[in-house]
């Protein structure tokens, strides 16, 4: 719809035959009819509204989302003719019984395969007709820039490959769909593995521990997890890490030793209590310095996150405003008016004045501004996401600091209380030490149990990954039937078309149809057949030769495609100074394909290139020499000075 010229939607100009002045005509409403027939010679006429005259304040015309299909020829439509209303440009118009593309696929007689689609809740969808059309219809603006240049994504992974696999009826289509499933499951398993690793890292951070011998990447061999462990700093020597099991054994031995000691009086234990208090206070001071430094950095990162969130809200608000303006106003009008007005007093500013002062103002359209702001939004969202992960991790680490801080405070408080107690009272130091050790043992049990649970989850993921790799290996490689089809495709592509069209950028033995990644199913340049690094034929060919490549590829696809709808459309194939002799070869090759339909939109006369004062021209009459009208071709010609759209005579 966006591609339609304003002459179909809003206005068009004609020349008054008497005064020779330009007359502007406003369009109040418009519609288009197209008559189509399928291989069974069943004829339908499709009507679609271009401008219904009922446009909403936001610039939408709901009637453009509907089509009417008449079961008759165009000139036989009457109120009694069977009509079928269908919807288009809406969700499910490829799958719903009343969707236009669903109806069109059935009318053409092709059964669209189901493929993976990451945009659907069930992750499946038909291979949409819109993804196949770019292999059939080469339009003028973008179509000559790349193979299937206008192929929409629509959530279908490797959409171009899927389209070629379908058109050529390759077994790889079902295999590749299975590969996509495996690829997604593999991605999910890797994601789950990373999540378990994150939980292990959080566990380690919470207790100032370290994880040992756990693979960072998912592995199919769960036996690699046998040697994994979690190690914790020794109480006596913080630089030395030991496993929870070893530390627990050491603590249990210390408890047993404490049980053997006689209960002492405070007076007998005073010096030990004083030394202990001094050490606790010294350790606490060092710890608090670390905590203060940690909190300073932590708070700075939280402030940074808040600042970014404010910026994001501002950008989202501005984006919303720009999109609203775009729906209401003409973008061209805005661009012209804004940049010729002083932003402070709204006075008109001469462009000559700005030029004399060396002032240059970049004029961005609404779409360009929206695109720029959308890019900024994505950058800020990415930064916020990264900061959020860091902040979440630091919150866990802070729990460790808070818990350690409380332990210091409680132990200092109890030790200080005992230091000022009556010397005749029984000392509780050993008892408190025993309680503290028992709590540490309990913490170690908790840490080890959580670690074991996560390792068990990794073990289950490793088993699933092993099965998945086995399935993946079973699918590797094209079937022999596919290879034969692609070999035949390559032979026809090169021998029947490419070099007959005048391609000369590379010799024939350097051009191949690639049967694996990269550039799968497309022509490539290679020094030899088994060259592991193929190069794109586009970057290794002249601009005009790449146009010839597109002609050859499209026609070969038409003839070799078992599921091809049987129609090809070239819009202005005379691109990039291609020679008239090449165009003549294209028209001749197209005329020889009798059981398919090839439509070519072309200029009648134009200069193609000039070399040494010799101009090569496109002359449709010379190009068609040797071909018989109504036998080899049919032609609808717009005369010189005539327009496609004009006043009805």
Reported as a pLDDT band with limits 50, 70 and 90, residue 304 is: very high
∠5-37-78 over CA atoms, to 5°? 80
Mean pLDDT value of segment 25-36: 90
- Going from the C-alpha of 649 to that of each of 9, 76, 640, 645, the distances in angstroms are 21, 21, 17, 12
pLDDT at residue 344, rounded to an integer: 60
> Distance between CA 52 and CA 527 in Å, rounded?
57
Reported as a pLDDT band with limits 50, 70 and 90, residue 364 is: low
> Distance between CA 48 and CA 69 in Å, rounded?
9
CATH class given for the domain over 480-623 = alpha beta
List, for residues 183-198, the tens digit of each pLDDT value. Answer: 889 989 998 998 899 8
For the chain, count helices (H), then strands (E): 15, 19
- Going from the C-alpha of 230 to that of each of 42, 201, 203, 248, 306, the distances in angstroms are 73, 10, 9, 13, 35
More confident residue, 332 or 533: 533
- Average pLDDT value for the chain: 85
- Going from the C-alpha of 133 to that of each of 177, 229, 565, 571, the distances in angstroms are 20, 56, 9, 14
Nearest Cα neighbor of 142 from 151, 154, 155, 131 is 151
- For 438-446, which contacts have Cβ atoms below 8 Å and span 24 or more sequence positions? 438/255, 440/235, 440/251, 441/248, 441/251, 441/252, 441/255, 443/207, 444/232, 444/244, 444/247, 444/248, 444/251, 445/244, 445/248
Do the beta carbons of residue 267 and residue 423 sit within 8 Å?
yes
pLDDT at residue 453, rounded to an integer: 93
Q: Which of the residue ranges 291-300, 591-600, 604-613 would you say has the lowest mean pLDDT?
A: 604-613
Reported as a pLDDT band with limits 50, 70 and 90, residue 260 is: confident
pLDDT at residue 330, rounded to an integer: 47
CB burial readout 350-375, b (16+ within 10 A) else e:
eeeeeeeeeeeeeeeebeebbeebee
- Going from the C-alpha of 585 to that of each of 473, 568, 636, the distances in angstroms are 45, 16, 20
210 three-class SS? strand
Instruction: List the beta bridge partners of residue 124.
Output: 116
Q: Which of the residue ranges 79-83, 299-303, 400-404 would you say has the lowest mean pLDDT?
A: 400-404
The C-alpha R_g of the chain, in whole angstroms, comes to 38
Q: Which two tokens stand for residue 572?
A: 């202005």
Q: Which residues contact 16 (CB under 8 A, 6 or more apart)?
A: 22, 23
Q: In sequence order, what E strands does 224-263 have?
A: 229-233, 241-243
Mean pLDDT value of segment 483-498: 97
Reported as a pLDDT band with limits 50, 70 and 90, residue 553 is: very high
Mean pLDDT value of segment 621-649: 83
pLDDT at residue 480, rounded to an integer: 85
- Going from the C-alpha of 335 to that of each of 47, 319, 328, 643, the distances in angstroms are 36, 17, 14, 30
List, for residues 394-452, the tens digit of each pLDDT value. Answer: 887 788 788 888 878 887 887 777 776 666 665 666 667 777 778 788 888 888 998 99
Say which residue the tokens 């003409």 belong to.
330
Q: At what angle do helices 366-419 and 331-338 cross, to 10 degrees?
A: 80
pLDDT at residue 590, rounded to an integer: 97
pLDDT of residue 119 exceeding 50, the answer is yes
> Distance between CA 250 and CA 445 in Å, rounded?
14
Residue 36 DSSP one-character state:
E
List, for residues 598-632, the tens digit of each pLDDT value. Answer: 999 998 888 887 777 788 888 899 999 999 999 99
Mean pLDDT value of segment 556-567: 96
Q: Which two tokens stand for residue 570?
A: 């070239």
Percent of the chain with pLDDT over 70: 88
Reported as a pLDDT band with limits 50, 70 and 90, residue 549 is: very high
Do the beta carbons of residue 14 and residue 1 sit within 8 Å?
no
Q: Which segment, 85-99, 423-437, 501-515, is predicted with the most confidence on average? A: 501-515
More confident residue, 93 or 329: 93
pLDDT at residue 283, rounded to an integer: 83
Q: What is the pTM of this model?
A: 0.63
pLDDT of residue 71 exceeding 60, the answer is yes
List, for residues 206-258, the tens digit of each pLDDT value. Answer: 777 889 999 999 999 999 999 999 998 877 676 788 888 888 888 888 788 77
Mean pLDDT value of segment 261-265: 68
> Distance between CA 121 and CA 119 in Å, rounded?
7
pLDDT at residue 359, rounded to an integer: 53
Q: Which residues contact 284 (CB under 8 A, 6 or more apart)?
A: 408, 409, 412
More confident residue, 245 or 162: 162
List, for residues 267-283, the tens digit of each pLDDT value. Answer: 767 777 788 788 888 88
Q: Which two tokens stand for residue 505?
A: 């950028």
> Distance between CA 83 and CA 104 in Å, rounded?
15
pLDDT of residue 635 exceeding 60, the answer is yes
H or E stretch including 597?
A: strand 597-601
pLDDT at residue 335, rounded to an integer: 45
Q: In sequence order, what E strands does 436-489 have?
A: none
Nearest Cα neighbor of 173 from 420, 520, 580 is 520
pLDDT at residue 336, rounded to an integer: 46
> Distance between CA 159 and CA 151 in Å, rounded?
8
Q: Which residues contact 316 (CB under 8 A, 6 or more apart)?
A: 377
Do the beta carbons of residue 8 and residue 37 sit within 8 Å?
no
List, for residues 127-153, the tens digit of each pLDDT value. Answer: 999 999 999 999 988 899 999 999 998
> Distance between CA 226 and CA 121 in Å, rounded?
38
DSSP 371-387: HHHHHHHHHHHHHHHHH
Q: Please state the domain extents for the chain.
A: 1-93, 267-426, 480-623
């Amino acid at each position: 719809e966006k591609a339609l010229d304003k002459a179909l939607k809003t206005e068009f100009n004609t020349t008054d035959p008497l005064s020779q002045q330009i007359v502007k005509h406003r369009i109040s409403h418009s519609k288009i009819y197209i008559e189509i027939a399928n291989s069974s010679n069943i004829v339908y006429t499709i009507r679609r509204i271009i401008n219904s005259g009922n446009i909403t304040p936001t610039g939408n015309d709901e009637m453009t989302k509907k089509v009417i299909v008449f079961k008759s020829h165009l000139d036989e439509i009457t109120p009694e003719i069977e009509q079928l209303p269908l919807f288009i440009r809406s969700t499910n118009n490829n799958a719903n019984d009343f969707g236009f593309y669903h109806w069109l696929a059935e009318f053409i007689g092709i059964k669209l395969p189901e493929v993976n689609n990451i945009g659907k809740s069930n992750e499946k969808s038909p291979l949409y007709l819109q993804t196949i059309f770019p292999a059939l219809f080469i339009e003028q603006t973008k179509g000559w820039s790349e193979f299937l240049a206008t192929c929409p994504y629509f959530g279908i992974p490797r959409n171009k490959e899927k389209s070629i696999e379908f058109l050529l009826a390759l077994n790889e289509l079902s295999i590749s769909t299975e590969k996509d499933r495996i690829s997604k499951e593999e991605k999910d398993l890797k994601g789950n593995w990373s999540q378990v690793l994150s939980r292990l890292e959080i566990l380690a951070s919470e207790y100032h521990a370290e994880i040992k011998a756990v693979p960072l990447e998912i592995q199919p061999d769960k036996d690699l997890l046998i040697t994994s462990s979690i190690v914790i700093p020794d109480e006596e020597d913080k630089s030395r890490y030991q496993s929870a099991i070893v530390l627990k054994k050491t603590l249990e031995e210390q408890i047993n030793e404490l049980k053997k000691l006689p209960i002492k009086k405070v007076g007998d234990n005073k010096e030990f209590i004083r030394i202990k208090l001094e050490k606790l206070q010294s350790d606490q001071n060092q710890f608090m310095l670390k905590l203060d430094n940690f909190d300073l950095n932590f708070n700075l990162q939280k402030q940074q996150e808040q600042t970014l969130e404010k910026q994001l809200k501002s950008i989202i608000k501005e984006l919303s405003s720009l999109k609203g303006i775009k729906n209401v106003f003409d973008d061209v009008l805005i661009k012209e008016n804004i940049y010729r007005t002083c932003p402070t007093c709204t006075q008109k500013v001469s462009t000559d004045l700005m030029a004399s002062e060396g002032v240059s103002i970049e004029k961005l359209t609404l779409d360009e501004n929206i695109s720029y702001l959308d890019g900024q939004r994505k950058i800020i969202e990415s930064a916020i996401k990264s900061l959020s992960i860091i902040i979440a991790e630091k919150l866990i680490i802070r729990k460790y600091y808070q818990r350690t801080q409380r332990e210091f405070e409680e132990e200092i408080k109890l030790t200080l209380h005992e230091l000022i107690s009556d010397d005749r009272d029984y000392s509780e130091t050993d008892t408190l030490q025993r309680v503290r050790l028992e709590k540490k043992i309990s913490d170690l049990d908790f840490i080890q149990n959580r670690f074991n649970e996560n390792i068990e989850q990794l073990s289950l993921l490793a088993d699933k990954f092993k099965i998945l790799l086995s399935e993946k290996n079973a699918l590797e490689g094209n079937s022999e039937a596919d290879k034969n089809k692609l070999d035949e495709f390559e032979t026809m592509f090169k021998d029947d078309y490419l070099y007959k069209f005048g391609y000369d950028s590379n010799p024939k033995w350097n051009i191949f149809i690639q049967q694996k990644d990269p550039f799968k199913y497309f022509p490539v340049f290679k020094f030899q057949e088994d060259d592991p690094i193929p190069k794109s034929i586009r970057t290794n060919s002249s601009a005009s030769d790449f146009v010839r490549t597109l002609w050859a590829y499209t026609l070969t696809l038409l003839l070799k495609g078992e599921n091809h709808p049987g129609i090809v459309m070239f819009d202005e194939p005379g691109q990039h100074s291609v020679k008239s002799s090449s165009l003549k070869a294209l028209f001749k090759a197209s005329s020889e394909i009798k059981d398919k339909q090839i439509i070519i939109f072309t200029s009648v006369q134009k200069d193609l290139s000039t070399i040494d004062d010799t101009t090569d021209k496109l002359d449709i009459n010379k190009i068609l020499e040797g071909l018989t009208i109504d036998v080899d071709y049919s032609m609808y010609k717009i005369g010189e000075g005539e327009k496609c759209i004009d006043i009805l005579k």
